[in-house]
Copies of this chain bind each other. A is one copy, B any other.
Amino acid sequence: MFGAEIPIIQGPMLGASTPAMAIAASTAGAIGAIGAAGLAPAALGQTIGEIREAVGDKPFIVNLFVLDPAAPDPAEVSRAMAALAPWRAELGLPEQAIPNKWAEDFAAQFAVLVETAPPVASFTFGILSAEQCARLKARGTRVVGTATTLAEARAWAAIGADAICASGFESGGHRGTFLRPVEESLVGTLSLVSAVRAQLGLPVIAAGGIADGASIAAVLALGAEAAQMGTAFLLAEESAVSAPWRAALAGQDCDSSRLTRAFSGRYARGIENRFMREMAGAEIPVYPIQNALTQELRAAAARAGRADMLSLWAGQGVHALRPGRTADLITAYWAQARATLADTAARFA
């Protein structure tokens, strides 16, 4: 896919993946990705330049969140800050100031994408206009739209996307959902990949619950062009995952995670912890408001080794997690995937 030797995409994970991870993945023959939504336009351009310089003509993916400018309601922000105050106090943080920025400006980030023209750009949380898609394609950038439902995949096909990232219910981190409420957009990877492939003529990237070589083999048999793995790289040497998050991932399995809005205002899948449970009843503003309001808290919790108030994003494939260099993980996953396909085909020949 996209000219890579190995049909594995290292999933973009804002806060967990790093440019070093993307470089390692692409250099190893797979496809690296950066979760770039948190980068200011100048830093975005610089990061794309660094990765391109490191990987040469090998493909890599730049992932952004399609967001409208935040429009916070002051009363709602006050209530959200009040709900977070006890948590901040527990960590010894001072009274919260209203953030001076809620999120990076997507329009400015998009302009950098068009200017720098990375090999592939993928998008979540929203959809491009047909005109935006055409501008990227005219620059030679392949456009991947993230879909959590068949309807979202159809919407991306309609605006001219080159491929669909079919992100199943099992996926860790934020749901990419943008058409309907998340509660009505929960489709398993197996069904979503199968339906998108059957109904649309576009290449499909499977994402969600792909934890090891056997599950890569499974989604390739299902007809996916590539397997996107995020959780499987959380313990990679190049990962930015904090020490308490890393520690909390040990011994977890497919039962351990839940969808929560508590940390960011948008549903995301992570290991269940105290913050998720105790904030379940609170009034939580939409993304990126709550995300910005909890940023300092999460950073402080990570420093303090407090997994109970930290976002512990992980998918349902977390049981298969292993540490190692990104390049070695890719080599191992791909060898296992090929051996699985050969063995399974031989067994039922």
Contacts and interface: CB of A to CB of B under 8 A. Distances in A.
A339 to B, nearest CB: 10
A212 B170 CA distance: 21
A211 B196 CA distance: 13
A192 interface: yes
A194 B348 contact: no
Contact of A150 (B170, B185, B255, B258): B255
Contact of A209 (B184, B185, B191, B347): B191
B218 A222 contact: yes
Nearest to A166: B254
Number of copies: 2
Contacts of A341: 221, 341, 344-345, 348-349
Interface of A: 7, 149-151, 168-170, 184-192, 194-195, 198-199, 208-212, 214-215, 217-223, 253-255, 258, 315-317, 319-320, 337-338, 340-342, 344-349
Residue among A194, A211, A215 with most chain B CB within 10 A: A194
A317 B211 contact: no
Contact of A214 (B212, B222, B258, B349): B222
A261 to B, nearest CB: 15
B342 A345 contact: yes
Contact of A188 (B7, B168, B217, B340): B168
B221 A184 contact: no
A272 to B, nearest CB: 8
B214 A188 contact: no
Given A222-B215, A344-B220, A189 B187 contact: no
B198 A170 contact: no
5 contacts: A184-B258, A188-B190, A190-B316, A190-B317, A191-B316
A151 B209 CA distance: 18
A319 B197 CA distance: 11
Contacts of A344: 217, 220-221, 341, 345
A319 B190 contact: no
Contacts of A337: 348
Given A198-B319, A198-B320, A342-B345, A149 B254 contact: yes
Contacts of A212: 194, 198
A342 B187 CA distance: 28
B211 A191 contact: yes
Given A209-B190, A348-B220, A195 B340 contact: no
Contacts of A209: 188, 190-191, 194
A214 B187 contact: no
A90 B315 CA distance: 45
Shortest Cβ-Cβ A-B pairs, 7 listed:
A191-B316, A345-B345, A170-B188, A190-B209, A191-B209, A217-B221, A188-B188
A254 B212 CA distance: 25
Residue among A149, A169, A190, A214 with most chain B CB within 10 A: A190
A270 B319 CA distance: 30
A316 B193 CA distance: 11
A335 to B, nearest CB: 11
B190 A215 contact: yes
Given A185-B255, A188-B208, A218-B222, 6 more contacts: A188-B209, A191-B316, A195-B317, A221-B340, A342-B349, A345-B345
